[in-house]
Amino acid sequence: MNTRDPAASAVKELTHFIGGKHVAGRDAKSGGRFGDVFNPTLGKLSARAPLASKAEVEAAIADSQAAFPGWGNTSPLTRARVMFRFKELVEKHMDELAVLVSSEHGKVLSDAKGSIQRGLEVVEFACGIPHLLKGEFSDSVSSGIDVYSMRQPLGVCAGITPFNFPAMVPMWMFPMAIACGNTFILKPSEKDPSCPLRLAELMLEAGAPPGVLNVVIGDKESVDTLLHDPRVQAISFVGSTPIARYVFATASLEGKRVQAMGGAKNHMVVMPDADIESAADALMGAAYGSAGERCMAISVAVPVTEKTGNELIEAMSPKLRALKVGSSIDESSEMGPLVTREHRDKVKGYVDIGVQEGAKLVIDGREFRPAKHPDGFFIGGCLFDNVRADMRIYKEEIFGPVLSVVRAKTFEEALALPNEHEYGNGVAVFTRNGDVARNFANKVQCGMVGINVPIPVPLSFHSFGGWKNSMFGDMNQHGPEGVRFYSRVKTITARWREGVNPGASFGMPLMK
C-alpha cells in the first residue's frame, strides 16, 4: 500500500498499521466502511481511509495487549534509545512528513514543519525518561524499614486526535506513553491520517517492537470501542468540546484515566501602551496562520480604548489585504485552504451570521478563490469590528481565518471577556506595563497565558492544557503531567533486619 506519495494523482488506499504491518480495512462487500480524504488545495479526493469496525479495533487492542508485557519490561534506557532514533528519523524525513501534512490538512509547508518540530520537542523530552521515571526513597523510616515509590506503566493506552495537527498532537501523546513503558493505539483523525501512519512506520524503524504503536483509522465506532474496552487503561483525547465532554464522561465511567482537551476561543487584549505594529503582526500570525485551524489561534482581539481599537484596525487592514493565500505546498503561500469543503462552508456561514448580527465586516474573504486552484476549499482572511459578547460569532468556536475585534473601554472590561467565556484555553495580553501584565496573568481564567506572546503553547518540558470547557480531566499533555498521566505510583515498604522477628501485632501498623 502506498501511503507515501502525496503527488500521486491516483486515489490512495490507506490501511491501518497494526502489529508492525499495514492492515487493509474490510472491503465494502464485506461491510467495510471508508472515509474520504481530500487534497484541500485541489478540492479533490486524494485517498480512501478505512473506518475500523468494532472487531477490527478489538484486534488492534489484542495486539497492543500482547506487546505490553515485553515492552513494559524493557529498561527506561532502552526505551529512551528508541526515542533518540525516532527523533533522528523524523528529522531525516521532515520534508516528506510536512508534505503529507500540508497535502491533507491544507496548512502551508513552513507551518507543517513547525508543527512537526513542536511534536519532536516532546520526543526530545521523552528521551529523558530514565530521569523522569525516577522514584522516591525514604531511608530507615523505622528500624530496618525503608519506603520507596516507583512509577509503572499502565498497559494499553489510546489516543484520539483531531484533524488540525495530524503530526504534533499524536506526538504529544505516543512518545510519552511509550517511553513510560505502555503500548499505544492511535486513532488519528480520519480526515488526514497519512502522516500519523508514516510516524508509526518510523517508530518501527526506530526499534519499537511490533504492536507498541498501532494505528487504527476510524470514526465514532472505533472511538466507542476504545472507550468501552476494559483492556484499554487510559484515553487521551484532543478535539472539539462536545466530543471531549462525551469521551471524558464515557471513559471515566468505565474506570479509565482520561484527559480530554476541547475547543477554544482565545482572546488577545491590546493595551493602549502596546506597540500597535507588533501587536498587529502578532495577530496576523495568530489569527490567520494555519487558516485559524489551531486550538491556540487568536480569534478575538480586545483593544482597550477607542483609540487603540482604531489604530489596530488601521494597522491590520493592509496586512490582511496583502496576505498571500494559495496552495499549501507553494513555499510562497502564507495561508492555505481549510481542511474540507464542509468546514469551509461552515466558516463562511459564520461570517454570514456575523453580518446578520450587525458586526462590521471590515475585510470580507468569503468569495476569495485563487486563480490556480478554483476548486480548493479556500476562504480569504476575514476581519470583524464592533463585535459584541452576545453575538454567536463571539460565543462559538469558528475554527477558521476570522478575527473578531471586541472593543473594551477599560482593562477590567477586557479581562472580564475571557473570564466570562465558556472556553479557557489560551489568552494573551500585549502591553509594556509590568503591573498590568502581572495582574492579567494572575486574574485571567485560562490555562495558558501569553505576555506579549500571541500563541503561548508551552514547551514540551512544561504541560499543555486549558481550563473550563477547553479541558476535561486534571492531567495535562506532555511535560511532567504527561509522565504522571501515563504512569502510576506504586509504594513499597520493606523491612530488612537480619535475624529479628518483630512478632505479631494486631493494632494499626506504626513506624517507631
Residues in contact with ligand NAD by CB under 6 A are: 160-165, 169, 187, 189-190, 219-220, 223, 238-240, 243, 261-264, 295, 397, 399, 425, 466, 470
Q: Supply the DSSP string of 309-327, one letter for each residue.
A: HHHHHHHHHHHHHT--B--
Q: Supply the DSSP string of 418-430, one letter for each residue.
A: HHHSSEESEEEEE
Select from 193, 194, 212 the least CA-distant residue to 203. 212
Compute the least distance from the CB of residue 40 to ligand NAD, in Å.
Answer: 14
DSSP letter for 328, please: T
Compute the least distance from the CB of residue 477 to ligand NAD, in Å.
Answer: 7
Question: For ligand NAD, which is the closer residue by CB, 425 or 431?
Answer: 425
145 contacts 511 by C-beta, under 8 angstroms: yes
Compute the least distance from the CB of residue 263 to ligand NAD, in Å.
Answer: 3
Q: Please give the Cα distance from 93 to 116 (Å, whole number).
A: 11
Question: For ligand NAD, which is the closer residue by CB, 3 or 425?
Answer: 425
Q: Please give the Cα distance from 389 to 393 (Å, whole number).
A: 9
Select from 159, 64, 79 the least CA-distant residue to 126. 79
Compute the least distance from the CB of residue 487 to ligand NAD, in Å.
Answer: 21
Residues 6+ apart with CB under 8 A from 393: 350, 351, 353, 354, 357, 359, 384, 387, 402, 404
Compute the least distance from the CB of residue 265 to ligand NAD, in Å.
Answer: 9
Compute the least distance from the CB of residue 246 to ligand NAD, in Å.
Answer: 6
Measured CA distances, 64 to 17, 158, 193, 195, 326 (Å): 12, 10, 20, 21, 41
Compute the least distance from the CB of residue 111 to ligand NAD, in Å.
Answer: 14
Of all residues in the shown chain, the one whose CB is closest to ligand NAD is 239
Grid cell, residue 459, equals 514547551
Question: For ligand NAD, which is the closer residue by CB, 306 or 474?
Answer: 474
Compute the least distance from the CB of residue 307 to ligand NAD, in Å.
Answer: 33
- Choosing from 127, 295, 382, 446, which is the catalytic residue? 295
> What strands, in cross-sheet order, belong to the sheet with 382-385?
360-363, 382-385, 402-405, 298-303, 266-270, 426-430, 448-451
Q: Supply the DSSP string of 377-391, one letter for each residue.
A: -----EEEES--TTS
Question: For ligand NAD, which is the closer residue by CB, 326 or 447?
Answer: 447
290 contacts 111 by C-beta, under 8 angstroms: yes
333 contacts 325 by C-beta, under 8 angstroms: yes
Question: For ligand NAD, which is the closer residue by CB, 103 or 241?
Answer: 241
Question: For ligand NAD, which is the closer residue by CB, 49 or 437?
Answer: 49
Select from 296, 240, 325 the least CA-distant residue to 464. 296
Question: For ligand NAD, which is the closer residue by CB, 219 or 364?
Answer: 219
295 is catalytic: yes
Compute the least distance from the CB of residue 225 to ligand NAD, in Å.
Answer: 10
- Mutual angle of helices 94-105 and 76-92, in 10-degree steps: 70
Grid cell, residue 161, equals 486526535
**Can you list the positions of beta strands (E) in 177-297?**
183-187, 213-215, 232-238, 257-261, 266-270
368 contacts 344 by C-beta, under 8 angstroms: no
Question: For ligand NAD, which is the closer residue by CB, 160 or 202?
Answer: 160
Q: Please give the Cα distance from 26 to 15 (Å, whole number).
A: 10
Amino acid at 287: A
Helix, strand, or coil here: 191? coil
Compute the least distance from the CB of residue 360 to ligand NAD, in Å.
Answer: 26
Select from 267, 277, 268 the least CA-distant residue to 312. 277
Grid cell, residue 100, equals 503529507
Active site amino acids? 295
